[in-house]
Structure 1
Amino acid sequence: MTGTLRYSFLGPEGTFTEAALTQMPGADRAQRVPASSVLAALSMVDEGDAEGAVVPIENSVEGGVTATLDAVSVTHRLQITAETLVPITFVLASAQPMELSEVTSVATHSHAWAQVRSWAQNVLPRVQYIPAPSTAAGAHSLRTSAPMADAAICAPLVAEQLGLHVIASGIEDFPGAVTRFVLVTKPGQVPSMTGADKTTVTIPLPEDRAGALMELLEHFATRGVNICRIESRPTGSAMGDYFFSMDLEGHIHEPRVADALAGIHRVSPAVRFLGSYPRADRKAQHVRPEVSEEAFDAATQWVASLTRRT
């Protein structure tokens, strides 16, 4: 495939991440470049070998993908410009036809294993789990001279692409699960506001004391900014040092969001803005009248009218 853009993604071919890539802006003219890991995909953007990277960031069952959260928040200086949701379903596949009772080891990604763990305990209680870099990597290994395991847990598409034998299908513990993927680029222009947007930030806890987190959250609460995801992650610098990764409803161009982040910056100057972008579910946010753009404009004009008297 040729194109004017290069998008790296968690490979190899046939991963859920590649399926997510096809839904991203510019995908129709992008060359797909598989990477061996999330870090490798993001490093390609950092080093100029790709214009964007598509990586998983959150799963409806397992929560945040820590490798992505840590890499985007700490290791790299990048920006999220788009997101998409991909429904997740799994099959158990082997290179040659075999029965469930013959499977002694299974290879897949840790997040996939977490989503089929109950099924595996009930159906394959003695099976050995072999971690793989991705679901597709475990499947691809079945076609090599040294497969990682007897079978792989992967997407139906990659099993079909590789001509694998499907031993069992629909094995996920939570039917209807989805994974959220993001398109990450070098920092640049923020996508236009749509009215159904999301903003991602990371905020180091400025001081480890009672009430410190509440004081940060109050900046959002008093301005009507809803936090739709919050997770704590270690900074890696010292035991007890954490930052908070958050998704906010709204766009940096909205006065209420900008004002909240300005307040956060005063108490936690190391706050990082990771991007404002359209929500994948297109769910429009509800803005209370007192924190609307009109309310902020009216308040600004009122203060200006007072200062003109002095």
Structure 2
Amino acid sequence: MKFSVLGPEGTFADAAAKAYLKTQPDTHITFDYHPTFDQVYQAVNGNNIGLLPLENQLDGYVSATLQRLQTADVTEIGEITIPVNFGLVANVKRLNEIKQLYVQFKTEGQCQKLLAKIPDAHIVTTSSNMVSLNKFLAGQAGEAALIPQSQMANQSAELMINQVADQTDNRTRFIIFKAQPAKLPTLAKTTLKTNRFKAPLFVTPATNDKPGTLYDILGYFASVNLNLVTLMSLPTKNQLGEYAFYIEISGTRDQQEELFATLHQMAAKYRVHPLGFYAD
């Protein structure tokens, strides 16, 4: 089996993938590293699986992942949450000497306190934390990078600062998926390994102009005591002002039948795009 993740080796995605495998039965896995979200998504086929970041404790949801899930024919089979933190490496002696800083697009929002100390530094956004490190290593005087804390012990630079995230208890949640459309009848037959489940999905109204649309959607779940742990709106991109709702439902095994009966009922009125049903 091939496991596609954001790479290269050493990224938080790599660490998350390896942490997830420790929770699974022994199987032969070949890691397949890619530099971009699209390449990870496109690489997953057949019985292979992939992993993408979904939510960070400090910087919120990863829009690049949600945008793909909104129209993707995939089934989420699980998730894994790992601690994350960052270190700063720079080829200068003092922070105010940094002229250019390499930082991954999601890392930037998690290290705002540090960035506030170097307001004159030019920020170069990268696709991964390891790309930031490699650009720094190939760079010139006056450059710096924010890199995974786990990589700090392997580096030697003039200036090195550990644990620079805004909070030391920072965590990121990743989803694991396969390239098979999630269908309500198939998901409803899933046998849970634990007593609790999580069910992610998108709900798209026919129109956003009608008053009470969101109230109506939420009422379906409230009427059967299903707990929503996530509710977000994303543009459908069909026209300005038109939105879909990303929802995550959490519940217990004895609510499984009610969940799928409710989603089936909703599907008669709204476009329901299920993404998975798995043990939480």
TM-score using structure 1 length: 0.80
C-alpha deviation, 1:14, in angstroms:
1.1
Q: 2:137 is paired with a residue of what secondary structure?
A: coil
Contact 1:142–1:148 (8 Å) recurs in 2: no
Match for residue 200 of structure 1? 200
1:171 and 1:239 map into 2 onto residues whose CA distance is 38
CA contact (8 A) 2:233 2:244 kept: yes
Match of residue 31 from structure 1: 30
Unaligned 5+ segments in structure 1 are: 280-310
CA distance in structure 1 between the aligned counterparts of 2:27 and 2:115, rounded to whole angstroms: 38
Letter in 1 for 2:257: P
Aligned to 1:306: none
Question: 1:155-200 deviations in whole A, cap 9, x for unaligned?
Answer: 1223434x34361111111221211001110227755322121000
- State the one-letter code of the partner of 1:33: D
User: What residue number does 1:82 align with?
Assistant: 78
Residue 186 of structure 1 is matched in structure 2 by 179
Asked if 1:115 is matched to 2:100, the reply is no
Q: Which has the larger radius of gyration?
A: 1
Task: Between 219-228 and 248-257, report the one with greater CA deviation.
Answer: 248-257
Partner of 2:227: 226
Shift of 1:267: 1.0
- Amino acid corresponding to residue 266 of structure 1 in structure 2: A
Aligned to 1:266, the other structure's residue is in SS state coil
Matching residue of 2:98: 103
- Tell whether the 8 Å contact from 2:92 to 2:142 is kept in structure 1 after alignment: no
User: Is the contact made by 2:102 and 2:136 (CA closer than 8 Å) also made in structure 1?
Assistant: no
CA distance in 1, matches of 2:142, 2:84: 22
Q: CA deviation at 1:118?
A: 2.3
Q: How many residues align?
A: 267
RMSD of aligned alpha carbons: 2.3
Return the letter of the residue paired with 1:116: C
CA distances 1:256-296 after superposition (whole Å, capped 9, x unpaired): 2112211211111x2111001122xxxxxxxxxxxxxxxxx
Q: Which letter does structure 2 place at the counterpart of 1:206?
A: A
Give ranges in structure 2 of 5+ residues lacking alignment.
none
Quickly say closer, same or farther: Cα 1:211–1:164, change in 2 above 3 A.
farther
Contact preservation (8 Å) 1:23, 1:84: yes
1:108 to 1:54, Cα distance in 2 relative to 1, 3 A: same
Report the equivalent of 1:305: none
Cα distance in 2 between the residues matched to 1:236 and 1:93:
39
Alignment of 1:51-66 (within 5 A): 51-66=48-63
Structure 1 residues 1-310: aligned runs within 5 Å: 5-25=1-21, 29-46=28-45, 48=46, 51-74=48-71, 76-94=72-90, 96=91, 98-121=93-116, 123-144=117-138, 146=139, 150-161=143-154, 163-165=155-157, 167-187=160-180, 190=187, 192-193=191-192, 194-208=194-208, 209-250=210-251, 254-268=256-270, 270-279=271-280
Amino acid at match of 2:97: E
Greater per-residue strand proportion: 2
Identity across the alignment (%): 21
- Partner of residue 288, structure 1: none
- Once the two structures are TM-superposed, the CA of residue 250 in structure 1 deviates from its matched residue by 2.8
Distance 1:221 1:34, change over 3 A: same
**CA offset digits 1:125-149 (Å, max 9, x no partner):** 22221100011111122233x5798
| Structure with more relative contact order (C-alpha pairs < 8 Å, separation 6 or more) | 2
Contact 2:133 2:146 in 1 (8 A): yes
Distance (Å, rounded) in 2 between the aligned partners of 1:141 and 1:148 = 12
Whether contact under 8 Å (2:85, 2:148) holds in the other structure is: yes
Measured at CA, do residues 148 and 224 of structure 1 come closer, stay the same or move farther in structure 2, by a change above 3 Å?
A: farther
Q: Tell me the residue number matched to 1:291.
A: none
CA contact (8 A) 1:57 1:181 kept: yes
TM-score, structure 2 as length reference? 0.88
